[in-house]
Structure 1
Amino acid sequence: MNDPLSFWWLTLLIVGALFIGRLLAGLIWRFACWITPQTGRIALHSARRVPGRQRLVDTVVARFPRTCSWLAARFATDRFTGLPLSLIVLLAAYLVSLGSDLAEDVIEGEQIVTMDRQINAALAPIRNDELLHVFAKITHLADIMTLLAVVLVSAAFLWSDRRHRFIPGLMLTVLGSQALTYVGKYAIDRDRPDFLTFASAVTPSFPSGHATGAMAVYGFIAYAIGRNLTSPALRFELGYWASALIATIAFSRMLLSVHYASDVAAGLLVGAFWLLAGFALTEYLNQRARH
């Protein structure tokens, strides 16, 4: 086995990856901001040119008034319970599908188990002792006690800022994600990978509680901060660096050899699902307060 790379080379690679990722994400963000209005205008213009469009619409509405009314409500853009909630429900359903498929593969499939072991072995060249101690500090950002302290402080700030309607969403996100994670851990009862570093853990491996907690807690905090930002550029920066923090914590679990890659992926999916649930509850409470 080759010796790990030097600490400074590894640090340079990681910092470079973060800033290259920032550059690529910025380019994708700008392209999406440019293409979305263009696509919308083209689609609207094309729809208006369809012969007999209005007659067809009137016929369908007259024949299926309740269904059309329900669909119109689901696609309304003037309230959260319209199109935004519909998109959240669709995305949440997609995350459930991905998570259930991943859990089934872990339970029944040898291919994903083999891939997990190969990824764990492939990380050997970057398991430098100094870097491992850095990532051990990073992984502590998603320890249970750390997350509890972060949640309590965040709730206190939200309350003092008179944004108490965010607190139920935060609690739903945190408690729901942790409950589902520990049910999954003991229901599937997957063994941990071989402990190749000084780090160890006692609970079952699948899914990763640290990845779940990082996604749920730091994701919701980024949402709560970004919700009142008016600058799209600031929202993008907040979103990217919060995502980078979550990804770094998730990666630390694999680098320290306390989780397989599929454990981490499952934890991120669980956290993302409950994060969407927290968004939905918060936006619903805000909408109800406005009316």
Structure 2
Amino acid sequence: MSNHTLSFWLLIGLLVLLLIVGRLIAGLIWWAIGRATPPTQRLATRTGHALSGRRRRLDAISARFPRTSAWIGARFATDRFTGLPLTLVVILAGYLVSLASDLAEGVIEREEVVHFDARVNAALAPLRNTDLLHVFAQITHLAAIPTLVAVVLVATAFLWADRRTTYIPGLLLTVLGSQALTYVGKYAIDRHRPDFLTFASAVTPSFPSGHATGAMAVYGFVAYAIARVLPSPRMRFELAYWCAALILLIAFSRLLLSVHFTSDVAAGLLVGGFWLLAGFALTEFLNERAKRH
């Protein structure tokens, strides 16, 4: 551990400042998106005017290729989850898969990402204050397997008691899928851990980070389940921001404790994000089917 670490209270102050500034920036972005997005009725009117000149051409194509046109139309329908929302989820999930596969390829072939990992690990030396490390050791325990199992069991019990049983399969898919893929990746790639520069250690291979995966999957799905019943967009925004902050703090704790490289943590977040989208999709599908019946 470096002898030239910054003081504990300075680091805590910087962390609090970072969270506050991040909240302000996120709030401004949220406000700007809300102002820039036109009301639904006005948007529909504009879209109708834009398409009115092309209606005959579209009708001719639909008449010639009825099945293909119906399938494409269903993929962009906005009145049900299996339309445009599912299409966007699938596109985003595919993008996450592409990012994760590129990252894994860079690690396996020991490309620039490996050198970047080493530079980041060395750059964190001034932050490895002993007292701060103990704080982040407690944060990292929030994504340990026993803690995540307890959170999943409590969440399942609450969902069952609240008669929201359609959320339980999505939660289990997110958690089990993300953990299974993470441990397959760990032993398939078999990457060595960084040098243990603090009191923390680990025994499993390094890539991807199981803590980052678990934090994204479990806390992300719990936040989603809570947000679905919150009465206002402002409350959902606050929940999303502070849940994201918690996930990022857990992810950063793995770097600060020198038990993971940056690419390990990034890959864990991508794996957790992919399975989180899968859990969202399954839950919304089950909710939609339950409403129909």
**If the length of structure 1 is used for normalisation, what is the TM-score?**
0.96
Structure 2: stretches of 5+ with no match in the other structure: none
In 2: Cα distance, 1:265 partner to 1:216 partner: 14
Q: Displacement, 1:110? A: 2.7
* Matched residue count: 291
Query: Residue 15 in 1 paired to residue 16 in 2?
Result: yes
The match for 2:109 is 108
Q: Displacement, 1:48? A: 2.5
Q: Deviations over 1:15-42 (max 9, x none)?
A: 1000100000000011112213279957
**Which residue identity is paired with 2:27?**
G
The match for 1:201 is 202
The match for 1:181 is 182
**Which residue identity is paired with 2:254?**
R
The match for 2:118 is 117
Among all aligned residue pairs of Structure 1 and Structure 2, give the percentage whose two residues are the same amino acid.
70
In 1: Cα distance, 2:190 partner to 2:41 partner: 48
Classify 1:51/1:82 alpha carbon distance in 2 versus 1 (closer, same or farther; 3 Å).
Answer: closer
Q: Deviations over 1:44-68 (max 9, x none)?
A: 6377357841221111111111111
In 2: Cα distance, 1:86 partner to 1:21 partner: 30
The match for 2:289 is 288
In 2: Cα distance, 1:220 partner to 1:11 partner: 28
5 Å-filtered alignment, 1:13-162, equals 13-37=14-38, 45=46, 48-49=49-50, 52-162=53-163
Measured on the aligned residues, the alpha-carbon RMSD in Å equals: 1.7
The match for 1:242 is 243
Q: Deviations over 1:174-227 (max 9, x none)?
A: 000000000000000000000000000000000000000000000000000001
Classify 1:49/1:231 alpha carbon distance in 2 versus 1 (closer, same or farther; 3 Å).
Answer: closer
In 1: Cα distance, 2:182 partner to 2:230 partner: 32
Deviates more, 1:47-56 or 1:70-79: 47-56
**If the length of structure 2 is used for normalisation, what is the TM-score?**
0.95
In 2: Cα distance, 1:124 partner to 1:251 partner: 13
Q: Displacement, 1:230? A: 2.0
Q: Secondary structure at the match of 2:38?
A: helix
In 2: Cα distance, 1:159 partner to 1:179 partner: 25
Deviates more, 1:52-61 or 1:267-276: 52-61
**Which residue identity is paired with 1:183?**
V
The match for 2:272 is 271
Q: Secondary structure at the match of 1:37?
A: coil
Q: Displacement, 1:2? A: 6.2
Deviates more, 1:252-261 or 1:42-51: 42-51
**Which residue identity is paired with 2:119?**
Q
In 1: Cα distance, 2:268 partner to 2:276 partner: 12
**Which residue identity is paired with 1:221?**
V
Q: Displacement, 1:245? A: 0.2
**Which residue identity is paired with 1:273?**
F
The match for 1:260 is 261
Structure 1: stretches of 5+ with no match in the other structure: none
Q: Displacement, 1:109? A: 3.2
In 1: Cα distance, 2:52 partner to 2:38 partner: 24
In 2: Cα distance, 1:289 partner to 1:4 partner: 56
Classify 1:162/1:132 alpha carbon distance in 2 versus 1 (closer, same or farther; 3 Å).
Answer: same
In 1: Cα distance, 2:55 partner to 2:154 partner: 55
Classify 1:261/1:58 alpha carbon distance in 2 versus 1 (closer, same or farther; 3 Å).
Answer: same
